[in-house]
Amino acid sequence: MSDPECPQKTPYMVDEEPGPKAWCACGKSASQPYCDGSHAGSGIGPEVVTIDEKKTVAWCGCKRSKNGPFCDGSHASL
């Protein structure tokens, strides 16, 4: 397994509707912050989470968060 790519050093702020979301963990997706299948062969698959209510989500953009797919500020140390 290789390290994920860092598509951006800030979170993706998205107004989300309830339902399952597949967050791109590899950093290769052209549909950031969501998975588009570009991880094939990387050894890094998406992380699927369910959003329970309509809200703004700070999806990790640097792919280094210790809080799963959600931004924890790890980008500040890159």
State the residue range of the domain holding 25. Answer: 1-62
Q: Are 43 and 2 in contact (CB under 8 A)?
A: yes
pLDDT digits (tens, 9 = 90+) for 18-51: 999 999 999 999 999 999 999 999 999 999 999 9
Full DSSP string of 42-61:
SS---EEEEE-SSEEEEE-S
- pLDDT at residue 1, as a whole number: 58
Burial class (CB in 10 A: 0-12, 13-18, 19+), 33: buried
pTM, entire model: 0.94
Q: Is residue 67 domain-resident?
A: no
- pLDDT at residue 2, as a whole number: 78
**Tokens coding 23:** 């967050």
Q: Is residue 69 domain-resident?
A: no
Split into its structural domains, the chain has a count of 1
